[in-house]
Amino acid sequence: MTTTEVNPNIVFIVSDAARARNFSLYGYDRDTTPFLEEFAEQSHVYENTISTSPWTVPSHASMFTGLYTSKHGATRSNPSISNHIPTLPKIFNKKGYSTHCLTANQLLTLENGLNAGFDYTEIPTRLFPNDTDYSQIKSSFSSNGFSRTFVEDLAGFLWEEKDIKDASNLAYKFATKLLGTSIVGHRRREPKGTNSIVNSFDSIVFGSDEPFFTYINLMETHLKYIPDQGFLRQVAPPNHSTSGYSDVNQDPRLYNYANAVDMDDEDFALLQSFYDGAVRQTDQAISEIVKSLNESGVLKDTLVVIVGDHGENIGDFGRMGHSLSLNDAVLRVPLIVSYPGDTGGERISELVQTVDLFTTIDQVCNLGVSESDEVGLDSQPLPRTRDEQGRDYAVAEYLGSPFDGIQRVMEKYPEQDYSELDFEIKTIYDSSARKLTIHSDGRERMSEVDINGEIPLHGDELQDQEDLESKLFEIVEPFGTVGINSEYEDSVRDTLRDLGYI
């Protein structure tokens, strides 16, 4: 594989919960990604990309290590990876790169193995973006509310930190929690921190004298979908672009777990419009990031990755969000890669996976990762031309038990039978667009898949099912060997709850 002669910069952009089918880059009928369509003319667009997991921690762990979930071990029961596992941020840090994490998704800021190796982390949704760990204060508030114990914990924390920015951030957070809305103007307009991320990236690009690895997580396409009205009007039908974000349920826990709300086709159509507006807003943010690379003169020496960590159900197979399923909607993601020196675009239709980014980055940047490092074992280089072969099979897993995390939902809605949610799922795609999904409780579904969804197969159409099942368990571990139920740390539990996972 051809590599650049200089140490390239890496800009790793994740659109959280981005599903490929809602990108006009892939043929969607709403104009959601005009910039990416332009950028595609000088980039590689992968048209058949499958994530390894339907949620943030394990999917990022796969991209950062080149391992499937069965091997890196990050599950619902244990949402972290071992500190001894080399990850891309750690590897680049040791190679002398400046490493930056700009993320509105706080699962990337916890001590779960994903944030290790970054020189600097910024959480842009705070009033004053910084990387101070507020988990002990959040946990105290969750346990004690506005009580004497909480006030004592807060006072002790602020005395140790002695930073007016931390005091302001915490005051802002608790005030917005009490009021149920944002109290500062620019946060109302931009509550997911995307503009702050773009501004911070400018500082990195124009202020760096050494090669940089910058990870960026954009949360616009993650529930709750609250795109700026201007972007919503560009893509949504008139009756949707004037609707309020509170007009439809956006809490997947109430729909998926508790069965506490009913949602009809119009509800999901409205959600889809909000989602499309969020995609359009993300496209604009990416255009500004690439513009900074262009204007600083470093784009030609930069590896740019634009990817979804997982997708999203918007009513698909009766699900909402990205919990409890491995439907194609939560696994098929956008992937655009601009390699150093790229001048002409390629569209690659071969089957690939997000886990393949690890080996691709390793080879392009000459990282020298070896088999003895025990990473990259499930990863292979992305094809660079239409003549290169992709994968024969792609695998995804949803592992662990939900019960540590949904106690509040279970207590509030005790009439629901939650035992039916205690399952794991594995799925395998083959290169001929067939997909087998297996639940640990014995349910199975064989489907034909494309970017528009999956069609269940029946009868004589199931002839390859046994072969696919054998191949699946040849590639990954059987059910029950990974994801032993264990208690979350309070900080992890609170962050998962804030993001709507539990």
Pairing of strands 120-122, 98-103: parallel
List the beta bridge partners of residue 427: 396, 437
What one-character-per-residue DSSP string does 481-493 give?
Answer: SS----PPPHHHH
DSSP letters spanning 364-391: HTT----GGGT-STT--PPP-STTS---
The residue ranges of DSSP E strands in 378-424, in sequence order, are 393-398
Q: For residue 1, what pLDDT is reported?
A: 36
pLDDT recorded at residue 62: 98
Cα distance between residue 324 and residue 84, in whole Å: 30
- Could you give the CA distance from residue 309 to residue 331 in angstroms, rounded to a whole number? 9
CA–CA separation, 166 and 406 (whole Å): 30
Distance (Å, whole) CA 131 – CA 102: 10
Phi, psi (5° rounding) for residue 314? Answer: -125, 70
Contact (Cβ atoms closer than 8 angstroms) between residue 70 and residue 88? no
Domain 9-125+191-386 in CATH 1.25.40.10: no
- What is the per-residue pLDDT across 306-350, written as a single tens digit (0 to 9) for each? 999 999 999 999 999 998 999 999 999 999 999 998 888 899 999
Instruction: Supply the pLDDT for residue 350.
Output: 97
Q: What is the pLDDT of residue 495?
A: 57
Give 142's DSSP letter: H
DSSP string, 166-196: HHHHHHHHHHHHHHTS--SHHHHH-TT-HHH
How does DSSP assign 430-472, residue by residue? ETTSEEEEEETTS-EEEEEEETTEEEE--GGGGTTHHHHHHHH
Residue 110 tokens read as 């916890």
Domain ranges, ordered by start, for the chain: 9-125+191-386, 132-190
Q: Which pLDDT score is estimated for 129? A: 66
Kindly report, residue by residue over 68-120, the tens digit of the pLDDT: 999 999 998 889 998 889 999 999 999 999 999 999 898 888 889 999 999 99
Would you state the pLDDT for residue 185?
37
Place of tokens 């071969």: 350
Residues of the chain with pLDDT under 50: 1-4, 181-189, 484-486, 488
Q: Which of 241, 191, 398 is nearest to 313 (CA)?
A: 398
Q: Are strands 44-50 and 352-353 parallel, antiparallel or unpaired?
A: parallel
